[in-house]
């Protein structure tokens, strides 16, 4: 069925409500908009849906949410029939329509005879991951678009181990969803099955916070400086405010200031265009509060509280936003040293990171004679390793992280956890504070010992049908063109992960290794219409590292502008 016919169906079919039809009538005559909304179904990717909130098959709305849920329900019934009664737990963030989508999801599951556990309000993604295992459900769902702009929402699916569904299951769920062509066939909740929707109480919250607090490594440090050490925190109007303030307070941090404009849930994020703690702009108010209050640390979490950004006071007194790689390296060192102090560091401990994460933390782990495992981008692959370690008892999970500001300390969750990461980052900063140092000075100390690591991620956004085609065109160019040098440095190896190498699943990623220990990776984003380039370098000092980074950036600019006729990448 062509996009025009599908559009007309949504306009005329009695299944779709009047509000939807009014919205679709408002775009009559706008062929480009109609095409973009209906030329395909919103894709169920490696773990779920993500899209702009609007009417249409290529948008997220109550109908596409029902369709995805019915597909998931059919998969559970067909493949885990004896597990069906374990149910599915659902959480949601603060975004527009999040509560409505949560209720639609619960009702569709109940209509299929599957118990649906829901919370009475906002909950974080890591708590959902924890709850799946705590409640022993067969699956979990989070309604969130993570750190995307306000017009987006999403739908992430977790399996019984608490990690996002692996590719094999995701593909099978996708097949079930794609087989649903008529929305009116999706069952509706009735009085007979409404009791299958079960409301959870605060018992789950307490269990989660207790599990987070168990990861503390130096309670004595918090006892000594917890009253005076100043922290600024912002949940960026998302789900993190209640659990992070509670975790920090119960751990012993008494001097926590919250950015008032960003404290309460707000689907429009108090004017923050892009509620992403990776971005300096998102921490503007937090840094201003830190300056005025003389705070030592700024912590920010994204709307569903699985990512953490950090700003620290530098030697000059200004505040610098740390990268995900820097935070990960700092935490790796802190965890190893903390475990050593308590004689709890096991020889079979393993650090897990993604293939686009720098070698900073890896070098620290290896210098302590610990193993490092690389996995594909996506925290589910770290969760998979944790599960494997528990099944075989051959290795002990030390820490897992990815450059995109996601960290997991402990195994209480199987996804990145902004609550436990915030607690450990605060504790780590307090540790340096107790030594008369800032966290930034601690970072410089590690750089002097292990080398100066610098990284940069460059994204090219290409929207719509043409954009998808252009992204594939660029990747094909890199895949089919032999590149011998970058920044006048020899390329010693190019890995194409689409070939299924290094005992990893196939993935559309290319990685170039240079003679001077620098590397560049190319991959399309799994959640946004972007092509990403990751650059990582190592220098004997900061100046050398910066020069390498700038040189590679210029070389990449030249390749893209000359060969692909693109503007200079940003």
146 is annotated as an active-site residue: yes
> Which 3 state secondary structure label does DSSP give 189?
coil
How many residues are present in the chain?
570
| Helices marked H in 214-297 | 219-225, 241-251, 284-293
- DSSP 8-state code for residue 273: S
**Catalytic one of 98, 129, 146, 295:** 146
Cα–Cα–Cα angle for 426, 430, 432, rounded to 5 degrees: 120
What is the Cα–Cα distance from 311 to 380, expressed in whole angstroms? 27
Paired strand residues for 232: 257, 298
For residues 467 and 525, the answer to whether their CB atoms sit within 8 Å is no
Q: Which of 468, 482, 494, 461 is nearest to 563 (CA)?
A: 482
CB 83, CB 76: distance < 8 Å: yes
Residue 197, strand partner residues: 116
Question: What does the block give as tokens for 77?
Answer: 């019934």
Rounded Cα distance, 95 and 277, in Å: 16
The strand pairing partners of 397, in sequence order, are: 350
CA–CA distance, 35 with 31 (Å, rounded to integer): 6
Task: Give the integer Cα–Cα distance in Å for 401 and 416.
Answer: 8
Q: What's 476's DSSP letter?
A: H
Laid out side by side, the sheet with 510-514 consists of: 452-461, 530-539, 519-524, 510-514, 489-496, 485-486
Strands (E) located in 182-338: 197-199, 231-234, 256-258, 297-301, 308-313, 319-321
Query: What is the strand order of the sheet 139-143 is part of?
Result: 48-52, 152-159, 139-143, 88-92, 116-118, 197-199
CA within 13 Å, CB half, 460: 23
Residues acting as catalytic residues: 146
């Amino acid at each position: 069925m062509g996009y025009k016919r599908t559009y007309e169906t949504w306009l005329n079919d009695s299944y779709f409500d009047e509000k939807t039809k009014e919205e679709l009538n408002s775009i009559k005559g706008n062929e480009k908009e109609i095409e973009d909304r209906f030329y395909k179904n919103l894709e169920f990717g490696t773990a779920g849906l993500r899209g702009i909130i609007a009417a249409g098959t290529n948008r997220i709305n109550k109908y596409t949410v029902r369709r995805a849920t019915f597909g998931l329900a059919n998969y559970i019934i067909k493949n885990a029939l004896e597990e069906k009664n374990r149910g599915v737990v659902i959480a949601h963030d603060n975004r527009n329509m999040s509560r409505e989508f949560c209720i639609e999801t619960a009702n569709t599951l109940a209509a299929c005879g599957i118990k649906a556990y829901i919370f009475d309000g906002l909950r974080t993604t890591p708590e959902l991951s924890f709850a799946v295992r705590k409640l022993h459900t067969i699956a979990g769902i989070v309604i969130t678009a993570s750190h995307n702009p306000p017009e987006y929402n999403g739908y992430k699916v977790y399996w019984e181990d608490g990690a996002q569904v692996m590719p094999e299951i995701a593909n099978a769920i996708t097949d079930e969803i794609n087989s649903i062509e008529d929305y009116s066939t999706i069952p509706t909740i009735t009085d007979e099955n409404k009791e299958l929707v079960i409301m959870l109480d605060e018992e789950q919250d307490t269990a989660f916070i207790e599990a987070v607090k168990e990861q503390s490594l130096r309670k004595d440090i918090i006892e000594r400086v917890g009253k005076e050490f100043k922290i600024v925190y912002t949940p960026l109007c998302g789900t993190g405010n209640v659990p992070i303030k509670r975790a920090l307070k119960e751990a012993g941090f008494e001097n926590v200031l919250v950015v008032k404009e960003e404290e309460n849930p707000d689907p429009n994020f108090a004017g923050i265009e892009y509620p992403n703690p990776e971005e300096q702009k998102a921490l503007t108010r937090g840094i201003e509060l830190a300056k005025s209050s003389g705070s030592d640390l700024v912590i920010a979490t994204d709307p569903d509280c699985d990512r953490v950004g950090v700003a620290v006071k530098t030697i000059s007194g200004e505040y610098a936003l740390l990268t995900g790689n820097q935070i990960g390296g700092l935490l790796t060192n802190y965890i190893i040293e903390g475990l050593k102090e308590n004689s709890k560091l096991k020889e079979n401990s393993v650090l897990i990171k993604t293939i686009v994460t720098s070698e900073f933390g890896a070098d620290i782990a290896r210098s302590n004679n610990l193993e490092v495992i690389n996995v594909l981008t996506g925290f589910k692959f770290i969760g998979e390793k944790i599960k494997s370690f528990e099944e075989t008892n051959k290795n002990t999970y030390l820490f897992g992280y990815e450059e995109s500001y996601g960290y997991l300390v402990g195994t209480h969750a199987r996804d990145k956890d902004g609550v436990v990461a915030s607690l450990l980052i605060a504790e780590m900063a307090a540790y340096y504070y107790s030594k008369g140092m800032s966290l930034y000075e601690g970072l410089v100390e590690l750089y002097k010992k292990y080398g100066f690591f610098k990284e940069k991620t460059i994204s090219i956004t290409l929207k719509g049908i043409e954009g998808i085609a252009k992204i594939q065109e660029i990747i094909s160019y890199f895949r089919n063109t032999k590149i011998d040098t970058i920044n006048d440095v020899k390329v010693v190896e190019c890995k194409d992960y689409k070939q299924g190498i290094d005992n990893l699943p196939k993935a559309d990623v290319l990685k170039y290794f240079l003679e001077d220990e620098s590397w560049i990776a190319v991959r399309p984003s799994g959640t946004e219409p972007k092509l990403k380039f990751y650059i990582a370098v190592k220098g004997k000092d900061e100046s050398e590292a910066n020069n390498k980074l700038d040189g590679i950036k210029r070389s990449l600019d030249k390749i893209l502008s000359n060969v692909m006729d693109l503007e200079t990448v940003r």
